[in-house]
Chains A and B, each alone.
Chain A
Amino acid sequence: MDDLKAKYLDLIGKADSSSGLEDLRVAALGKKGEISLQMRELGKMSPEERQTAGPALNALKDEINSALVAKKVALDDAALDERLRGEWLDVTLPSRPRGEGSIHPISQVTEEVTAIFADMGFSVAEGPQIESDWYNFDALNIPGHHPARAEMDTFYTHRAEGDNRPPHVLRTHTSPVQIRGLEANGAPIRIICPGRVYRADYDQTHTPMFHQVEGLAIDKDVSMANLKWCLEEFVKSFFEVDAVDLRFRASHFPFTEPSAEVDIRCSWDNGTLKIGEGDDWLEILGSGMVHPKVLQAAGVDPSVYQGFAFGVGIDRIAMLKYGIPDLRAFFDSDLRWLRHYGFRSLDVPTLHGGLSK
């Protein structure tokens, strides 16, 4: 038995292929294998002989089996190593291309503004971009002869021969949405109205279409001091700074009274804007307390309700925040610009996760 053991362990040790190993298994442990044949002899032995030969044969079988398995693993590993040696790839080759999309800064900033105001209880209202002159002007206390009408460079729509209604306008501001919002919901109300607006002007800093967000808060006791707080909080959150200094300057808009232009303290360092510090003032928006005539036009009683409105240029604050130099390029769809100034699809601005990444 010891001979048998020595012989097979030796042969297994020398085996150099899976098939050779299988042959050995058959020769030793197959139906007619040497060890199997010996195990068949056990039946012919006396019980005493069997008591010693049985366990010895079983031990021999186990040992040969283990040796076969161990050798098989060793041979397989060697084979795999051999194969892998041939499987070299130049992994510096580029990956399969996958298009990378982008979100336009207007969309991104509109979402940022929405996130901030939603937190302060404002909802989002929208309205027609082709507006009647009543909603765009009259209801906002800008009668037909008002110089502001001429100053706004309004686009008018064509009127067919015989249609004697005043031409509609492309809304010059998102303020008409205030009126529509109040008409639909009454007071109290807190809304922002983002969207496209139009003025017939084109030069370095003007495009015939741009974006505004209008804010409106009406209640029984909303004051200009609330407006200032609201804007301070907005500017701080939007520009992601800890402190801001806003300056309210008396101004005039037909639809608010008192009216104020709002400047923000800033500094310009090599063309980079820093909000909240420095000695410069940057005009960022117009605002005021909603004129009683506007409330009246929208069906709200100005002796009961009061509140504020403001309007910010979305394109403008996008340019300021993200250092985008030219307004005209916003609407040119130059791929280089879209890729450079655009945002990744999952950069969703939230207050808990941060507006910008």
Chain B
Amino acid sequence: MKFTLSWLKAHLDTTATVDEICEALTDLGLEVEGVENPSEKLKAFTLGYVKHAEKHPDADKLRVCKVDTDEGELQIICGAPNAREGITVVVAKPGVYVPGIDTTIGVGKIRGIDSYGMMASEKELELSEEHDGIIELPSGEVGERFIDWLAKNDPSKVDTTIEIAITPNRPDALGVRGIARDLAARGLGKLKPRDVDPVEATFQSDLTVSIDEDTLDGAPVFMGRLIKGVKNGPSPEWLQDLLRAIGLRPISFLVDVTNYFTYDRNRPLHVFDADKVKGNLRVHRAVGGEQIVALDDKTYTLQTGQMVISDDNGVQSIAGIMGGEATGCTEDTVNVFVESAYWDPIQIAYAGRALKINSDARYRFERGIDPAFTAEGLEHAVRMIVDNAGGEASKVVVAGKVPNVARAYKLDAKRVISLVGMDIPESTQRQTLTALGFRLEGDMAHVPSWRPDVLGEADLVEEVARIASLTKLMGKPLPRVAGVPKPILTTLQSRQQMAKRTVAGLGYNECVTYSFIDREAAAMFGGGDDATMLQNPISADLSHMRPGLLPGLLRAAARNQARGFADMALFEVGHAFQGGEPGEQHVQIAGILIGRTGPKDVHGTSRGVDVFDAKADAEAVLAAIGAPAKVQILRGAEGWWHPGRHGKICLGPKKVMGVFGELHPKILRDMDIKGPAVAFVLYPQEIPEPKNKVTARTALIATDLQAVERDFAFVVDADVEALTLVNAAAGADKALITEVRVFDEFIGGNLGEGKKSLAITVRLQPTDATLKDKDIEAVAASIVAKVTKATGGVLRG
């Protein structure tokens, strides 16, 4: 919302400076977004007098002028047709910046003759679009600053413009008067009366209006007056300047009047050219499919139920949103019908959104205008039209009746103090509300008709606090919980934090990737269906909620490879979405390793990453976040893993805590990843909650008896898994065997096709007596037997 200082002062009697006004506005909740003072950019221009002008010897259209200025006589070459002797002009001397042409004037030679400046047109000074000639002033002294002359003779040209942001709850501040009222309530001046002297009616309008029964809930009242014999044309200069200052284009006087009251009083109006209306006006609901060419020259197709205004020719106006081209006013309009109506905000909001029209009228009606001002607004407009464009006005045509929005809420002064925490005396509270237009009866505050946002006691608190100024609010300590604060993170929350720190410690860089991803990538990882699709994605790359974290990480990896980083370790901890309903989300901890373990190095440690890197990291993270150490490694995870090179880390076949493995080569190809890529994905929610939190550890058993280690090598079928063998060996004597480690795997050689050798070290820890050879032999025999039974393997000779 833009307005000028003089416009504000037409409503507010104040001596406050622009700075004071702006500070107060921002503090009141009408945040100042910009202040523009046009005299700033015109400060350097001064008045001059053309003493002599003659044709340029080498150019027919140029004149060589001698101009009196505050720096003496200057020779200026000028191409304007009106450059001639005896006129007072606006001079830009060398060094002056001319805003309209974005140029700083210098001393120049034009067709061989020196020129020491410029005489400016209105367009060059951004005062108007006028560029047919240079400015000729009817008065003024040589050397006088142009802005001083403007301030005296044409103040609207140097009026300060203020732009404020309006929150959706303050439609009243979409009119200059509403802004003035807030400032007056704050104590920055006095609201001036702006009553209207209605134009006397001289006839009964033959143009009438009706509202269909089924439309009254959206269009409760429609008022209008027919004015005959107006002379339309350009608006008076002051009005044009005012509209231009707030960024509107003057069109014609009749249209400009409607725009003026839109901004002056938040009272949108419409003017019909009465001669173009066939029959009478009827407010009704669209059947659906009707078309109208609106004032923006675009054709709109109406939907069933949208409110429109029609005549015998059809729809002539989209109610409360935009008028129609066919019955709009032009410079030739002689008979005008002025509309002042009230439209239901919700219905306008829906219609405006459906038709995608953003007009000043829609903006205001959907936020809510003052219904009680319908008649007065009409009278203001008619008065202005008749005073400036002549004509005779009809009696008021009325359909429906002004809706009753009267309501009152209890002002609980103590509650205000308790909620805000500021000591605002009750008398001040009442005074504030009165200044804002509330009527107080006992402790009931009757809401003014222009404040549709005030719908309860809490809104009264807001008004009082706002005017009292929240800037003055002093902080008061929030009582602390007694004692030492308790931990507040849930198990899942602390697991995520711990996981992040652990994975980063293992050398991975944490990423935060978007929760949405392209359909193709989502589909590769089990998502990409309609349930997780966005209706209005910002781009096709971001169309589906991610089914997991791997696709985003792989896309990130591909981007980094394109930047020249071949090797990397990336991870993310966040939510993935298994469905499109609220709650269909789960936390994942995902890491990827791509390329080599590091750059090639002098120690020769660099090698391609492999499954066991991913497995080690997955195990480290699981250990860090409290997963049980005893797990099963199963196969058969999702299709994006290499079918033979992955494992699910499970607590039973259905309890999958995570997966590690190589990614499927097709995935890497489709996602444009070069080099080996391994990954892990962990599901922290699947890890059982710690049962009962006992801080004490079990007692340490550290015997002095010597432990013994024995090695065994077994020849087994190549598809026998090491873990099966290890578990079998460990089961041979659970009391004695404390550890079984695989230390060698050998495939091929003289073992024969389909065979491999697995070598293990078994650690035996006696607890009551030193092991004797025969004890060790007995255990060894048992180990061999168990392993053979479980795997079919034989001890290697």
What is the interface of chain A, defined by CB distance below 8 A to chain B?
A: 93-94, 96-104, 106-107, 111, 114, 118-124, 126, 128-132, 135, 144-148, 150-151, 155-160, 167-168, 170, 196, 198, 200-202, 208-209, 217, 221-226, 228-232, 246-252, 254, 257-261, 289, 291-293, 306, 330-336, 338-339, 342, 344-346, 348
Contacts and interface: CB of A to CB of B under 8 A. Distances in A.
A248 B471 contact: yes
B507 A101 contact: yes
Most A CB contacts (10 A, CB to CB) among B421, B457, B585 go to: B421
B513 interface: yes
Contacts of A336: 563
B701 interface: no
A229 B475 contact: yes
| Pairs of residues from A and B, 3 with the lowest C-beta to C-beta distance, nearest first | A99-B507, A225-B421, A223-B421
Interface stretch (B147-155, B201-209, B306-314, B459-467): B459-467
A120 B480 contact: yes
B506 A306 contact: no
Given A225-B475, A257-B461, A331 B513 contact: yes
Contacts of A247: 471
A345 B585 contact: no
Nearest to A111: B497
Contacts of B461: 257-258, 289
A119 B485 contact: yes
Contacts of B599: 97
Nearest to B470: A248
A101 B582 contact: no
B577 interface: yes
A98 B601 CA distance: 11
Contact of B501 (A118, A128, A338, A346): A346
A250 B30 CA distance: 8
B534 A155 contact: yes
B420 interface: yes
Given A225-B476, A261-B31, A348-B501, A145 B366 contact: yes
A104 B580 CA distance: 27
Interface residues of B, number: 103
Contacts of B687: none
A258 B420 contact: yes
B478 A128 contact: no
A323 B510 CA distance: 19
Interface stretch (B99-107, B267-275, B345-353, B758-766): B345-353
A228 B474 contact: yes
B579 to A, nearest CB: 8
Contacts of B685: none
B493 interface: yes
Nearest to A101: B504
Given A118-B488, A224-B420, A348-B501, A97 B601 contact: yes
A124 B462 contact: no
A130 B532 CA distance: 9
A129 B575 contact: yes
A145 B500 contact: no
14 contacts: A98-B598, A150-B349, A151-B168, A157-B532, A157-B534, A202-B538, A202-B539, A223-B420, A226-B421, A248-B470, A257-B462, A258-B465, A333-B570, A345-B505
Interface stretch (B21-29, B39-47, B247-255): B21-29
B555 to A, nearest CB: 8
B481 interface: yes
Contacts of A170: 515, 534
A152 B148 CA distance: 46
A200 B536 contact: yes
B602 interface: yes
B488 A130 contact: no
Contacts of A345: 501-502, 504-505
Nearest to B532: A157
Given A119-B485, A156-B535, A257 B459 contact: yes
Contacts of B511: 104, 333, 338
Nearest to B537: A155
Given A170-B534, A249-B470, A223 B490 contact: no
B781 interface: no
A294 B537 CA distance: 29
Contacts of A124: 488-490, 493
Contacts of A339: 509
B506 A159 contact: no
Given A118-B485, A202-B538, A228-B474, A145 B580 contact: no
A16 B458 CA distance: 103
B349 A122 contact: no
A184 B646 CA distance: 41
Given A101-B509, A230-B475, A254-B169, 18 more contacts: A101-B569, A122-B488, A129-B577, A148-B168, A150-B349, A155-B536, A156-B534, A201-B538, A222-B478, A223-B420, A224-B473, A247-B471, A248-B470, A250-B470, A261-B31, A335-B560, A338-B511, A344-B504
A152 B734 CA distance: 64
A223 B419 contact: yes
A250 B28 CA distance: 5
A202 B667 CA distance: 29
Nearest to B510: A104
A198 B514 CA distance: 10
Interface in B218-275: none
B565 interface: yes
Interface string B609-629: 000000000000000000000
B603 interface: yes
Nearest to A211: B512
Given A122-B488, A248-B473, A331-B512, A208 B500 contact: no
Given A145-B349, A229-B478, A101 B508 contact: yes
A102 to B, nearest CB: 5
B602 A94 contact: yes
B422 interface: yes
A316 to B, nearest CB: 14
B500 A103 contact: yes
Contact of A97 (B480, B537, B606): B606
B240 to A, nearest CB: 31
Contacts of A330: 512
A289 B419 contact: yes
Nearest to A220: B418
Contacts of A144: 346
Given A101-B506, A130-B577, A229-B477, A158 B533 contact: yes
A306 B419 contact: yes
Interface in B483-505: 485, 487-490, 493, 497, 500-505
Contacts of B510: 101-104, 107, 338, 342
A20 to B, nearest CB: 40
Interface in B588-613: 597-599, 601-603, 605-606
B367 interface: yes
B114 to A, nearest CB: 44
A209 B553 CA distance: 16
A251 B493 contact: no
Nearest to B415: A306
A139 to B, nearest CB: 13
A5 to B, nearest CB: 47
A93 B602 contact: yes
Nearest to A97: B598
Contact of A252 (B169, B475, B514, B533): B169
B456 interface: yes
Contacts of A119: 485
A228 B577 contact: no
A251 to B, nearest CB: 5
Contact of A250 (B350, B466, B502, B512): B466
Contacts of B476: 223, 225-226, 228-229
B646 to A, nearest CB: 22
Contact of A99 (B488, B537, B569): B569
B180 to A, nearest CB: 17
B706 interface: no
A226 B478 contact: yes
